[in-house]
Structure 1
Amino acid sequence: MRPRTPPLATLRLFEAAGRHLSFARAATELNLTPSAVSHGIVGLEKALGVRLFVREPGRLVLTREGAEYLTYVSEALSLILIGTRRLPTPRSGKTLAISCAPTLATQWLLPRLPAFRSRHPQIAIRIDTSHRQVGFPIDGFDVALRLGRLPPPRQHSIRLFEDWLLPVCSPAYREAVTGPDGTVDVRRATTIHVTSATEDWQAWGDATGTDERSSADTLHVDTFALSLRAAGAGLGIALGRGALMDRELRDGTLVGVGHAVPAATSHWLVSAAGDDDRQEPEQFRVWLLAEASRFAAEQRERFPPGSA
């Protein structure tokens, strides 16, 4: 007797939980409760007669059978979505879904997006800034902007521009910590650290031969955006990343106080590894690559590596 195909809803629960290895994160993505996801998975396991997950304290692990089944389910759901997108509906091909980290979206992408909208006013754009792994094309995203040392695996990635590090502060604060010789005296300054990027100051110090640990004080915050706000408010010197402080450097709210050095990370444009014959993602890629190339050239001219 042929086995019954499980309900699509339970397969979607399994795919999200397997991708995130977390019932809680799957529930957030699917707008459900973790309990609903867990019960759905239990029902699926009973229907299949196979254990898909091992529930260990503090983590969720796929069984060997679960990992193998996830490959088929992910591919099947992807095919369903691709086929649905190709149906001749009135709005077919007129939307573009973008996943982007919140600070990069606010500081770099949004200020440039009006140019794309004026060129392609027929495209409806959706931007998601939640911090979560994107599954192409199951999550419904066309492209994602990601920061990393290497391109994300098993996806199509194009390098947009390199990341770089530059100490920044408000103009008034720079004046306050500038020594008689005209250079910033780190020993008189407060350095601002982002808790999720603890290696940045060390990397910058190694590249410039500067020991920031000699600074008078430190301030710790949990996001890049908050570190820039703190620096702009005169609370100290933040180690900014190029694209994340582009607007502040342009309007003079923040000024550089040291050498700009390349970071180990780059910004990537990521999409599904398979072919997508829709025009909208390709139009966005062409436009974004041109913007990225222009931005990279501007940064090399404004803050060449090793410049003060």
Structure 2
Amino acid sequence: MDDLATATRDLRTHVEARPIVISTLPVFMEKWLTPYLSDFQNGHPDIRFRFDFHDGISTGGRGFSFGPDIDAMIVYVERPPEGFQSERLFGEKLVPVCSPTLRAAMPDTLTLRDILSQTRLQDTFWPDDWSVWARAMGHPGNLQAPELSFALYNGLIQSVKSGMGVAIGHSAMIRRELEAGDLVAFDAFAIDAPESYYFVTRRSLRNNPKLAAFWKWILKCSGNS
């Protein structure tokens, strides 16, 4: 009985000490979540995290992968996966963006052709942004591949800011750049993104008080509390 009690105590200590493991898109972590995290840590100094990353492709139209060591995922999908506890955080707009300098060199009244005639930049993990946007604009036929692609969203945004070309911006991920005037959005050409950001976990994990605290907090940050 003493051995059993010791083993139970050790297991409880291990579970309590184990960090919460959350898998998300690198861009979501960098551009949206990180600026808020200090607020959560200040209110919950006893909760530790480990953030893993997925590329977003495996959670799209080709299946949903939830690793055994993952407590929760923040995914970008059209609809939440079945068999899990999920909550929509928010959607966003897809909108062409460029630097203020490049915008000044373009016509005051823009046409679809004006935008497509510019050098097109793209994030490799969102390869369909240009084609999805162009179809919504009524563009006939298929677009040629963008001239430049970037594996990191921050690299894409820096290239747009430097005046290299036009990209399809994800409005929730570039809010600070737009507010600072570092990017100019062609708002008349904005569309609703087909996907939304969802917080997903196994239903059994919702009873985890530390995970539940993070769940409540991120919903508040996203405006869904």
Residue identity in the other structure for 1:106: E
Matches within 5 A, 1:148-167: 148-167=77-96
The residue aligned with 2:199 is 269
Counterpart for residue 3 of structure 2: none
Q: CA deviation at 1:190?
A: 1.6
Aligned to 1:279: 209
Number of aligned pairs? 205
Contact 1:151 1:157 in 2 (8 A): yes
TM-superposed CA distance for 1:282, in Å, is 0.6
| Separation (CA, whole Å) in 1 of partners of 2:220 and 2:141 | 36
Change (3 A) 1:85 1:202: farther
Deviation at 1:245, TM superposition (A): 1.9
| Contact 1:170–1:253 under 8 Å retained in 2 | yes
Task: Please state how far the C-alpha of 1:99 moved relative to its aligned partner.
Answer: 1.1
Structure 2 equivalent of residue 183 of structure 1: 110
2:174 is matched with 245
One-letter amino acid of the structure 2 residue matched with residue 268 of structure 1: Y
Q: Which runs of 5+ in 2 are unaligned?
A: 1-7, 59-64
2:34 maps to 1:102 = no
Change (3 A) 1:93 1:156: farther
Contact 2:78 2:194 in 1 (8 A): yes
Query: Residues 61-116 of structure 1: CA distance to partner in whole angstroms, max 9, x if unpaired?
Result: xxxxxxxxxxxxxxxxxxxxxxx899431771673222111111001110111111
Residues 95 and 280, structure 1, Cα contact 8 Å, conserved in 2: no
1:219 to 141, 147, 150: 147
Tell me the TM-score normalised to structure 2 length. 0.77
**Bigger mean CA deviation after superposition, 110-119 or 93-102:** 93-102
Aligned to 1:123: 47
Q: Alpha-carbon deviation of 1:287?
A: 0.8
Within a 5 Å distance, the mapping from 1:24-103 to structure 2 comes to: 87-89=11-13, 92=16, 95-103=19-27
Root-mean-square deviation over aligned CA pairs: 3.1
The Cα offsets for residues 153-172 of structure 1, whole Å up to 9 and x where unpaired, read as: 32211111113201111111
**TM superposition shift of 1:281:** 0.6
Matched to 2:207, the amino acid is D
Normalised by the size of structure 1, how large is the TM-score? 0.58
Cα deviation, residue 197, structure 1 = 3.3
Percent identical among aligned pairs is 30
The alpha-carbon deviation at position 249 of structure 1 amounts to 2.1
The aligned runs of 1:126-145 (5 Å cut-off) are: 126-131=50-55, 133-135=65-67, 138-139=68-69, 141-145=70-74
Q: Which residue of 1 aligns with 2:5?
A: none
Match of 1:279, as an amino acid? P
Distance 1:198 1:122 in 2: 39
Contact kept, 8 Å, 2:71 with 2:205, in 1: the verdict is: no
| Residues 250-290 of structure 1 deviation map (CA, whole Å, 9 limit, x = unaligned) | 32222202422111111110111324432111111111011
Query: Partner letter of residue 257 of structure 1?
Result: F
Q: Which residue of 2 aligns with 1:54?
A: none
| More helix by percentage | 1
Residue of structure 1 equivalent to 2:4: none
Amino acid at match of 2:78: R
Partner residue, 1:50: none
